[in-house]
Amino acid sequence: MLLPNQLTVLRIILTPVFVYFFLADGDYHLEISIVIYIVAALTDWYDGWLARKFNYITAWGKFWDPMADKILTSAAFLCFVILDIIPLWMVLLIVLRDLFVTTVRGYVDYKNLNFPTSTYAKVKTFIQMIFLYYLLVFYTLSVSQFSGENVKSISFLMLNEHFIYYIMLLITIITVHSGYVYIKQNYDLILKAVKE
Residue-wise pLDDT for 56-68, tens only, equals 777 777 778 888 9
The class that CATH gives domain 3-195 is mainly alpha
26 DSSP 8-state letter: S
Residue at 115: amino acid letter:
F
> Which stretches of the chain score pLDDT less than 70?
1
140-179 in b/e form (b: 16+ CB < 10 A) is bbbebeeeeeeeeeebeebbeeeebeeebeebbebbbebb
Res 1: pLDDT: 66
Res 62: pLDDT: 76
Cα 9 to Cα 44, 70, 72, 115, 136, distances in angstroms: 10, 13, 12, 23, 23
Res 9: pLDDT: 92
Res 44: pLDDT: 83
Res 3: pLDDT: 80
pTM, full prediction? 0.90
Res 162: pLDDT: 96
Q: Where are the beta strands (DSSP E) in the chain?
A: none
